[in-house]
Amino acid sequence: MEKEDILAWLRTTDENELIKLWQMADQVRQQNVGQEVHLRGLIEISNICVRKCGYCGLNIENTAIGRYRMTEDEIVECAHEAASFGYGTVVMQAGEDHGIATEWMTGLIQRIKRETSLAVTLSLGERTDEEYQTWFAAGADRYLLRFETSNRTLYDRIHPPLAGQPSDRIALLRRLKQIGYETGSGVMIGIPGQTYDDLANDILMFRELDLDMIGVGPYIPHQATFLGNPELTTYADKTVQVPNSEEMTYKTIALSRLVCPRANIPSTTALATVNTESGRELGLSRGANIVMPNVTPRKYRALYEIYPSKACIDETASDCRSCMSRRILSIGRTIGTGRGDSPNRAKHRE
């Protein structure tokens, strides 16, 4: 698949053509990663963040939200709950919280690996090379770090660097792979100022990075951010600006599956937010093979407001578990067992 093909798919509005795209993605998913849907327990361990991202509600300048950091015991309890639900992985996600000290995190990873047989995925943002190495040595298996957009100018606009520290997530992703992590990334769809050409380049970048995991979702404006007023930054020309639509999200999921056939691809919470009724199922039917049920304690959920009206805010871990199982079984798929390691990585190990 070349860039022109990707662009043609991103621009098409022909319903019959799109049905073909969904079918191709579904077949390639079935042939390469099978019919199992793996469940990853998501623990949002801290909403504290030092960064000023123009899209994210957790940015340091948003003083309207209460901040929290879970204790080690709280997190380990969530990990045990995830294991008791049969999930094979926990994903520990946080803002860029420098209060999450290297040693503290190391101890936490070691404890989860000792007390459970879970795969451990980290999603803690841009940290030092030493931290990435130390946490891998402590037993962390996977790292998620979205590059958000491959357009460098747009990236710098929406993701201001910390003073004196240029931010190059693409370089970090290459490094994470080299250290030995199963590596995941992704982008937002419909960022104000994102063109069709940019999104096509993003999809090609997934292939270039040979990602093991690819997570994408629609950009959802948050009032407490500087992109929150999209009129200021969106291209008025609708033939240039990518819409942050549900359909564009399915197209991106489907095309990601076609360019990275063996990657693990989640049907994300952002998609469930724009279509509560059937977003998850449609994502799974158009290329995705993963869901990430939230296992964060209910009292913290509303505080992890990356974007408004996020799905699963009022639910408990157990609610999300039954919701996900029901949705997976309703489309004739099965619930994955085991850790659900990336078949893409297995290919490299052969």
Task: Write out the residues near ligand FES by the rule CB under 6 A.
Answer: 293-294, 312, 315, 319-320, 323-324
Tokens 């977003």 belong to 279
Residue nearest to ligand FES (CB): 323
Nearer to ligand FES, 200 or 312 (CB): 312
| Phi, psi values for residue 188, rounded to 5° | -95, 150
With CB under 5 to 8 Å by kind, the binding choice for 118 among ligand 5AD, ligand FES, none is none
By CB atoms closer than 10 A (0-12, 13-18, 19+), residue 163 is exposed
* From ligand FES, ligand 5AD, none, interface partner of 188 (C-beta below 5 to 8 A by class): ligand 5AD
Our CB check for ligand FES shows the closer of 28 and 324 to be: 324
Comparing CA positions, the residue from 344, 295, 287, 341 lying closest to residue 316 is 295
Cα dihedral 176, 251, 268, 51, rounded to 10, equals 50
Shorter beta-carbon distance to ligand FES: residue 27 or 84: 84
Q: Give the one entry of ligand 5AD, ligand FES, none that residue 340 binds, where binding means its C-beta sits below a cut-off of 5 to 8 angstroms depending on kind.
A: none
Measured distance CA(324)–CA(166) in Å, rounded: 39
Helices in 122-195 by DSSP H: which ranges?
A: 129-137, 152-158, 169-179
Nearer to ligand FES, 123 or 294 (CB): 294
Q: Both ends of the chain: CA-CA distance in Å?
A: 25
219 binds, among ligand 5AD, ligand FES, none (CB under 5 to 8 A by kind): ligand 5AD
Q: Out of ligand FES, ligand 5AD, none, which partner does residue 307 contact, by CB within 5 to 8 A per kind?
A: ligand 5AD
Least separation in angstroms between CB 201 and ligand 5AD: 16
Instruction: Give the binding site for ligand 5AD (CB under 6 A).
Output: 55-56, 146, 148, 188, 217, 219-220, 222, 270, 306-307
> C-beta of 319: minimal distance to ligand FES in Å?
5
Residues paired with 187 in a beta bridge: 148
Count, in order, helices (H) and strands (E) of the chain.
14, 10
Judged by beta carbon, residue 270 or residue 282, the one nearer ligand 5AD is: 270
Minimum distance from residue 34 beta carbon to ligand 5AD (Å): 27
Distance of alpha carbon 193 from the chain centroid: 21
270 contact choice in ligand FES, ligand 5AD, none (CB below 5 to 8 Å, kind-dependent):
ligand 5AD
Q: What are the CA-CA distances from residue 151 to residues 77, 78, 155, 294, 323 (Å)?
A: 40, 37, 6, 31, 36
* Of residues 220 and 290, the one with the C-beta less far from ligand 5AD: 220
